[in-house]
Structure 1
Amino acid sequence: MSKSPNPIDVHVGSRVRLRRMLVGMSQEKLGEKLNLTFQQVQKYEKGANRIGSSRLYTIASILNVPVQFFFDDMPANIDISSLALAEGGVAEDDETPIVMDFVNSSEGLQLNTAFSKISDSETRKRIVELVKTLASATPEDQ
């Protein structure tokens, strides 16, 4: 029986993948900088293998982000106190997989990259409101 990955490891791994893709770095290149194979980087990104603290610090340096970046947007319903006892993992927020799939898609990366270049916070807020309005419109309204 295979053990399910720890949901925190899955989240941290997905954030490593997100940042790596945002900076345009391949798994091979990140692996070279870490003295690892790209397969090991894949395992980290999927949460199959846990990233140790010193390795996470090195990855943060390579990807030019603070270590906290990898824990940002952690689903609120992960009960840390029960993780050691959890056998089947912890349920994610229903929207978390959809959001991560989008963020990791080509369109999601392009949108995030372009959006992050908008320096005016009011403009960013208006874009978010526009997207929310478009998302809530029924197909016949569009």
Structure 2
Amino acid sequence: MKHPVDVHVGKRIRHRRWMVGMTQQQLADSVGIKFQQIQKYETGMNRVSASRLWDIARTLAVPIGFFFEGLSGDGADAPAVEADLLANKEAMELIRAYYAIPEAQRKRLFDLARVLSEAA
């Protein structure tokens, strides 16, 4: 049976890998495992060991805590209830495009989006 935290960590791995434009094979090669193992991590079928999570975090250029963001802080094992934007391909493409914009323009676009959302 999949543990909810393992599923959450796997989703965060998939999200970050996708955001940096890396394939499962590229990530697997970087951390010295087969891509099938990355598939199992991303679905929560297999737990990621601490040392492997360290390697994945280093490869994906994020702190270890990134993989646990969004979990409830009350000690419960289940992830916090929230919309899973990471599963929405359109949202992911928008996020990737957003981060491809130079920082100065990205800030202006963010400010514009905030104003438009408040006016809606």
Q: TM-score range by the shorter chain?
A: 0.7 to 0.9
Give the counterpart of 1:113 among 81, 96, 111: 96
* 3-state secondary structure, aligned to 1:96: coil
Residue of structure 2 equivalent to 1:6? 3
Q: Tell me how far 1:58 sits from its aligned partner.
A: 0.6
Contact 2:25 2:35 in 1 (8 A): yes
Residue of structure 2 equivalent to 1:96? 83
Distance 1:6 1:130, change over 3 A: farther
Give the gaps of 5 or more residues in structure 1.
Answer: 84-89, 135-142
Distance 1:26 1:133, change over 3 A: farther
Cα RMSD of the aligned pairs, angstroms, is 2.5
Return the index of the structure with the highest Cα Rg.
1
- Summarize deviations over 1:1-54 as a string: whole Å, max 9, x none: xx2x11111111111101111111111111112221111100101111111111
1:73 matched to 2:70: yes
The structure in which a higher percent of residues are helix is 2
Residue of structure 1 equivalent to 2:23? 26
Distance 1:33 1:51, change over 3 A: same
Distance 1:113 1:127, change over 3 A: same
Q: Which whole-Å CA distance do the structure 2 matches of 1:108 and 1:92 have between them?
A: 20
Q: Tell me how far 1:91 sits from its aligned partner.
A: 7.1
